[in-house]
Each structure stands twice: as C-alpha cells, then as structure tokens.
Amino acid sequence: MTARELADTLQRDRRLDPEGYRRLITARDAGLLEHINSLAREAAQANYGNAVYVRGLVEVSNYCRNDCYYCGIRRSNRNVERYRLSQDEILECCRLGDSLGFRTFVLQGGEDATMNEAFVTGLVKAIRKEFPASAITLSLGEYSREAYQKFFDAGADRYLLRHETANREHYGKLHPASMSFDHRMDSLHALKEIGFQTGTGIMVGSPGQTDDNIVEDILFMEAFGPEMIGIGPYLPQCDTPFAGERAGSLEDTLMLISIFRLMFPPALIPSTTSLATLAPEGRERGILAGANVVMPNLSPPENRAKYALYDNKKAFGAEASEGLRELEAQMEKIGYRISYDRGDFVNGKWKMENGK
C-alpha cells in the first residue's frame, strides 16, 4: 500500500496498524502531507462545518513546583518573574471574555501549591455561578482523584492534561526523577472516569522523542479516546536545560494533527500558540490540517510575557482576546468562521451521521 493509500485507509477505518502510523509519520513527503491535510479538513467539516471554536485562555499562575526540563516556568528557573492571579482577577478576566462573547474559559497554570484543592474548587464555583452557560476548562496539572472530583462537582466541564509522552523512558528524559509517569497516566484515567471531557497530547519534536515514541503516543491515544487533543511543536526556552535543543517541525506537527483528526473525527483539536509561534501562518496551517479550536489569551497583558513556556511565545495580536477581529479575518481568509458557541464534544452526532 502506498502512503497515500494508508491515509485513505485511516480516513475510512479511523485506525491503522502500528507500521501504518510509522510510515505516515516518517514519509515526510509534501504531496502526502497535502493529501492527508485535506482528508482531515473534510473529517472536521463533516462534524463541525467551517466553525473554529474560540476559548478564552487565562494563565492563572506561573509558579510551579515541577521542574520539567523543557518548560520555561519550571521551578529552577530563577529568571522568571513569578505572578499569581487572585480569584477576583481571574473572574475579571472571565468577565472581559464574556463581554467579548467567549463561552469557554480555560484556566491554565503551573502547579502552584497556593492553588490547592480548596482554592480551585472555590474558583470553579464562583465562575460557574456567574457564568452558568459557559464551559470551564482546567489545565492545572496533577491533583488527587478526590480533588478532580471536587472540581467536577463544582462545575468544571473539561480538563487538559497532556500525557507528554507515552513512553516511560522518554518521560524520564523530559522530567526529573521526582515526577512520575504513572501518576500522570493515572491522573488522566481518573479525569476520564470522573466524566470530564478530557484532553491529552504531546509536544512534537520534544528532545529525545523518536518516531517509535510517536507511534506509542498514537496507540496510547487510540486506547484512551480523548475528547480534546493538544498537539504543538516543542520550542526551546533559553533558561531551561534544553535551551540548545531544536524546535519541533511544522510539517511533523501538521501530519500529526491530521492523523489525530482522522482517528477522532469529533475531537476538539486546537491550533496551538506554539504552532503560531513556530511559523508564519502556523495557526492557519493548523486549521487547514484539521484543527478546529483557537485559544486567544485573556490574561492581563502585563502578565503575559511572564508565562514564557518557550522563547518568543505569541500573546498579542490575533493570539489575544483584544485581537479577535484580526483572528476572525485570518480565519475568514481560509474559509472558516469563528464560533462563539461552547463547542462541546459531539460524539453522538458523529455516530449518528456515520450509522455507527
């Protein structure tokens, strides 16, 4: 079978054998990429039309107890000016987002000990009370199952927790020994069992990542069945141990977005800030590869530069809430429209349309 036929098979069956995935990710052929991107666009459009959902991203804190080797807000980085938003400040961001039409708020941050179970539960309750119709997504890292349950009961709908890598050895190259691969995986399973729309994903081209690792990531995702998939290139940050490592590639990222779209037609897949940072028109290319979500930054402008996960991170213009018109124009130019709906996962619809 040619690689092109493999892409067609993935579109039809939503699955390949491991060797098939491996051939797609190693082909690195422009014609194949164009073909699979167009199949992935069709799959996204069959489910969501030409809608691209916006989520308002609030970066709530850049304090972090973890020391991930790739991340600019890791504990050991002394060159970051730390900040943490209060509940009132976070609510103020949500109010601004609400006035702009956002119906999903994504709260993301480092693992900040101050943002403990009680704080997050109280925060979620306050947002839920003030914005009963909006979706609340958390991306705050690892907590206990009991804490996740409290967040869910308080009104959180979705949780983003990239698995980063499904390979234990590779996990050990990206993280210090104090961090646990098993705990990350257990956390993901707990989130799903509790009933969150759960998102996971990887950095493409993270240091030490092999093609085999990516196949393992794909197989993990196949078994896990995420509702949301966060795929973006790894980008170096100058104060981390990986400062001298190469960034992930645009083409590999676009190939993976398309593979995941074909595997999971109803998934919510962002065209990430890291993709927009990596390449001119990266955001648009992500949408044209099958992504259907964008997450403009709603954080107070004075804090954005401090949430520097990687160098030159985009946080203004079309990447920000105040640049929504620019974002709308970018999307219109490629035939898409911004949707201000909550944009929940709609597996049932896909199943009906496909008679499965």
User: Which positions lie near ligand SAM, rule CB under 6 A?
Assistant: 70-71, 108, 110-111, 139-141, 161-162, 164, 203, 232, 234-235, 237, 274, 309-310
* Closer residue to ligand SAM, CB minimum distance, 106 or 127: 106
DSSP state of 317: G
Helix, strand, coil percentages in the chain from 3-state DSSP, rounded to 5: 45, 15, 40
Min dist. Cβ of residue 247 to ligand SAM (A): 8
Min dist. Cβ of residue 242 to ligand SAM (A): 7
* Closer residue to ligand SAM, CB minimum distance, 10 or 71: 71
CA distance 148 to 157: 11
Min dist. Cβ of residue 142 to ligand SAM (A): 7
* Closer residue to ligand SAM, CB minimum distance, 110 or 265: 110
Q: Which are the contacts of 89, defined by CB distance < 8 A and separation ≥ 6?
A: 300
E strands within the chain?
A: 51-54, 56-61, 104-109, 135-139, 158-160, 197-204, 228-233, 293-294, 337-339
- Give the number of residues written for the chain: 356
* Closer residue to ligand SAM, CB minimum distance, 39 or 190: 190
Report which of 131, 129, 128, 125 is spatially closest to residue 99, judged by C-alpha positions. Answer: 131
* Closer residue to ligand SAM, CB minimum distance, 40 or 161: 161
Longest dimension (CA), the chain: 58
Min dist. Cβ of residue 355 to ligand SAM (A): 36
Min dist. Cβ of residue 273 to ligand SAM (A): 9
Min dist. Cβ of residue 246 to ligand SAM (A): 12
Residue nearest to ligand SAM (CB): 141
* Closer residue to ligand SAM, CB minimum distance, 110 or 266: 110
* Closer residue to ligand SAM, CB minimum distance, 108 or 339: 108
Amino acid at 227: E
- Residues 265-279 as b or e (16 or more Cβ within 10 Å = b): bbbbbbbbbbbbbbb
CA distance 101 to 235: 31
Question: How many Å from the N-terminal Cα to the C-terminal Cα in the chain?
Answer: 26
Min dist. Cβ of residue 217 to ligand SAM (A): 12
Residues forming beta bridges with residue 150, ordered by sequence position: none
